Amino acid sequence: MVINITEKAAVEVSKFIEEQDLEDPILRIGITGGGCSGFQYSLKLDEDYDVEKDIIAEQHGIKVVVDKKSNLFMNGTTIDFHDGLDKRGFVFDNPNATKSCGCGSSFNV
């Protein structure tokens, strides 16, 4: 997996994990069809993964899982967390995206 999570993003994920009652939480990263540019990013906390369909790694103390199909479109992506006056939330820097919407939540390859 070549999806990187910055330390700042990992801190925010850790806050969400503390709020949940999950036994062995993992951060599932993926893409789904939709949005104004074709694909949307997906982040969610999960407890299960499939070793045949998913790739798992640990970054900054967070177990991160991405399905192999999403990894094809997200290889090289960096996920950061922006906390400013203009916006607050996770930001995806995807070198594979040829087009993205103004809000940055969807993209096309």
* Domain positions in the chain: 4-99
106 contacts 35 by C-beta, under 8 angstroms: yes
Pairing of strands 106-108, 26-33: unpaired
Report, at the CATH architecture level, how domain 4-99 is classified: Sandwich (2.60)
Side chain identity, residue 40: Q
Per-residue pLDDT of 55-103, as tens digits, reads 999 999 999 999 999 898 888 999 999 988 888 899 888 888 776 655 5
Average pLDDT score over the chain: 85
Rounded to whole angstroms, the Cα distance separating 30 from 70 reads 5
Question: Which residue did the predictor score with more confidence, 106 or 5?
Answer: 5
Question: Which residue did the predictor score with more confidence, 55 or 105?
Answer: 55
- Whole-structure pTM value: 0.82
